[in-house]
Amino acid sequence: MTTIFTRIIDGELPGRFVWRDDRCVAFLSINPLRAGHTLVVPRAEVDHWVDLDPATNAHLMSVAQEVARAQMDAFAPTRVGLMIAGLEVPHVHLHVVPMDGVHDLDFDNAARDPDPAALDAAAAALRGALRSRGADGVSD
Protein backbone atom coordinates (compact mmCIF):
# COMPACT_ATOMS: atom_id res chain seq x y z
CA MET A 1 0.00 0.00 0.00
CA THR A 2 1.27 3.46 -0.86
CA THR A 3 2.33 5.50 2.18
CA ILE A 4 1.27 9.05 2.89
CA PHE A 5 4.88 10.12 2.28
CA THR A 6 4.89 8.58 -1.19
CA ARG A 7 1.65 10.44 -1.91
CA ILE A 8 3.34 13.68 -0.83
CA ILE A 9 6.44 12.88 -2.91
CA ASP A 10 4.25 12.12 -5.94
CA GLY A 11 2.30 15.38 -5.55
CA GLU A 12 -1.00 13.74 -4.64
CA LEU A 13 -0.90 15.53 -1.28
CA PRO A 14 0.66 18.93 -0.60
CA GLY A 15 4.06 19.30 0.99
CA ARG A 16 6.40 22.18 1.77
CA PHE A 17 9.52 20.80 0.13
CA VAL A 18 12.97 22.19 0.87
CA TRP A 19 15.03 19.43 -0.83
CA ARG A 20 14.54 17.06 -3.77
CA ASP A 21 16.98 14.75 -5.46
CA ASP A 22 16.78 11.39 -7.18
CA ARG A 23 17.03 9.42 -3.90
CA CYS A 24 15.20 11.45 -1.28
CA VAL A 25 13.19 14.52 -0.43
CA ALA A 26 12.89 16.78 2.58
CA PHE A 27 9.74 18.64 3.54
CA LEU A 28 8.41 20.38 6.61
CA SER A 29 6.41 18.45 9.17
CA ILE A 30 2.71 19.34 9.20
CA ASN A 31 2.85 19.08 13.00
CA PRO A 32 6.18 20.72 13.79
CA LEU A 33 7.91 20.43 17.11
CA ARG A 34 9.69 23.72 16.33
CA ALA A 35 9.80 26.11 13.37
CA GLY A 36 11.71 24.43 10.56
CA HIS A 37 11.08 20.82 11.73
CA THR A 38 11.91 18.86 8.59
CA LEU A 39 11.44 15.25 7.52
CA VAL A 40 14.08 13.66 5.29
CA VAL A 41 12.42 10.79 3.43
CA PRO A 42 13.76 8.30 0.89
CA ARG A 43 11.78 8.00 -2.32
CA ALA A 44 11.83 4.22 -1.88
CA GLU A 45 9.19 2.91 0.51
CA VAL A 46 11.21 1.22 3.23
CA ASP A 47 9.38 0.67 6.50
CA HIS A 48 12.26 0.44 9.01
CA TRP A 49 15.54 2.30 8.88
CA VAL A 50 17.52 -0.84 9.68
CA ASP A 51 16.37 -2.22 6.31
CA LEU A 52 17.81 0.67 4.28
CA ASP A 53 20.64 -0.19 1.96
CA PRO A 54 23.88 1.41 3.23
CA ALA A 55 24.14 3.88 0.34
CA THR A 56 20.62 5.23 0.89
CA ASN A 57 21.19 5.40 4.64
CA ALA A 58 24.39 7.41 4.10
CA HIS A 59 22.64 9.71 1.63
CA LEU A 60 19.75 10.40 4.02
CA MET A 61 22.22 11.26 6.76
CA SER A 62 24.14 13.57 4.42
CA VAL A 63 20.97 15.41 3.43
CA ALA A 64 19.91 15.61 7.09
CA GLN A 65 23.25 17.27 7.86
CA GLU A 66 22.75 19.80 5.04
CA VAL A 67 19.27 20.58 6.33
CA ALA A 68 20.55 20.86 9.92
CA ARG A 69 23.28 23.31 8.94
CA ALA A 70 20.69 25.41 7.11
CA GLN A 71 18.41 25.26 10.17
CA MET A 72 21.27 26.58 12.29
CA ASP A 73 21.62 29.50 9.87
CA ALA A 74 17.90 30.18 9.47
CA PHE A 75 16.62 29.66 13.02
CA ALA A 76 19.70 29.97 15.29
CA PRO A 77 18.79 27.12 17.67
CA THR A 78 21.20 25.89 20.34
CA ARG A 79 21.42 22.52 18.52
CA VAL A 80 19.64 20.53 15.86
CA GLY A 81 18.24 17.19 16.95
CA LEU A 82 17.86 14.10 14.81
CA MET A 83 15.30 11.36 15.49
CA ILE A 84 14.27 8.23 13.68
CA ALA A 85 11.06 7.12 15.36
CA GLY A 86 9.11 5.51 12.57
CA LEU A 87 6.01 4.52 14.51
CA GLU A 88 3.43 6.77 12.90
CA VAL A 89 4.16 6.21 9.18
CA PRO A 90 5.59 2.94 7.78
CA HIS A 91 8.09 4.78 5.57
CA VAL A 92 11.55 5.71 6.86
CA HIS A 93 11.85 9.38 7.79
CA LEU A 94 14.41 11.35 9.72
CA HIS A 95 13.11 14.15 11.93
CA VAL A 96 15.56 17.08 11.80
CA VAL A 97 14.51 19.52 14.52
CA PRO A 98 15.96 22.87 15.60
CA MET A 99 16.09 22.72 19.39
CA ASP A 100 17.08 24.61 22.50
CA GLY A 101 16.46 21.74 24.93
CA VAL A 102 15.49 18.08 25.03
CA HIS A 103 11.84 19.08 25.63
CA ASP A 104 11.81 20.34 22.02
CA LEU A 105 11.93 16.70 20.87
CA ASP A 106 8.77 15.69 22.75
CA PHE A 107 6.01 14.80 20.27
CA ASP A 108 3.43 15.75 22.89
CA ASN A 109 4.50 19.35 22.17
CA ALA A 110 3.91 19.14 18.40
CA ALA A 111 1.79 21.90 16.91
CA ARG A 112 -1.66 20.46 16.19
CA ASP A 113 -2.93 23.29 13.99
CA PRO A 114 0.06 25.33 12.84
CA ASP A 115 -0.39 28.60 10.98
CA PRO A 116 0.09 27.88 7.23
CA ALA A 117 1.79 31.26 6.79
CA ALA A 118 4.32 30.37 9.49
CA LEU A 119 5.01 27.02 7.77
CA ASP A 120 5.47 28.80 4.43
CA ALA A 121 7.84 31.31 6.03
CA ALA A 122 9.87 28.55 7.69
CA ALA A 123 10.14 26.66 4.37
CA ALA A 124 11.24 29.82 2.57
CA ALA A 125 13.83 30.60 5.25
CA LEU A 126 15.18 27.06 5.10
CA ARG A 127 15.37 27.02 1.28
CA GLY A 128 17.13 30.39 1.41
CA ALA A 129 19.67 29.12 3.92
CA LEU A 130 20.26 25.96 1.87
CA ARG A 131 20.84 28.07 -1.27
CA SER A 132 23.22 30.41 0.52
CA ARG A 133 25.20 27.35 1.65
CA GLY A 134 25.42 26.18 -1.99
CA ALA A 135 23.37 23.02 -1.44
CA ASP A 136 22.65 20.99 -4.58
CA GLY A 137 19.16 19.64 -3.94
CA VAL A 138 17.24 22.75 -2.91
CA SER A 139 13.59 22.50 -3.91
CA ASP A 140 11.78 25.30 -5.74
Radius of gyration (Cα) for the chain, nearest Å?
A: 14
Question: What are the residue ranges of helices labelled H in the chain?
Answer: 4-9, 54-75, 116-132
Q: Is 37 a catalytic residue?
A: no
Beta bridge partners of 98: 80
Catalytic residue among 91, 93, 95, 103: 93
Q: Are strands 94-99 and 79-83 parallel, antiparallel or unpaired?
A: antiparallel
The CA distance from 58 to 79, in Å, is: 21
Query: SS3 for 82?
Result: strand
Q: Which residues are catalytic?
A: 93
